[in-house]
Structure 1
Amino acid sequence: MYQRDFLIKLVQARMPFGQYKDRYITQLPVHYLEWFSRQGWPSGQLGQYLATMFEIKTNGLDEVLKPIIRQHR
């Protein structure tokens, strides 16, 4: 249940600052996530969302989120 809730919150989360402020985290470009990967993830939930999205995008798993986005956004 935790993973499902985490993914629902992930698809609903928006970037709170920076160049991509207010965009859904699922819409962030890979190069932006790569920058965080090199510089260090923010602390807390935001860092977890960004790191998870980085793994999803770099492994070509974006399709997994589409049904969750349709149902929960």
Structure 2
Amino acid sequence: MKNQKLINARCQRGLTQVELAQRANLTVRGYQNFEHGVQSPNIETAICIANTLGIYDLRKIWDSNLEA
């Protein structure tokens, strides 16, 4: 299931998947997997993505399925 919260947050900041992946130091495919719900990020990666988006409450972009 797509992570619509994450997609919306990225779009609100006017970033493409490629731009966000580059800024968060991720592969584009890895980032796409997070948006499409194929994979959940570990907590460090989730924080990095959130920081890149200027979001400091992870609940705004992820449900509680983050990997420890």
Same fold (TM over 0.5): no
Rg: which structure is higher? 1
TM-score by length of 2: 0.29
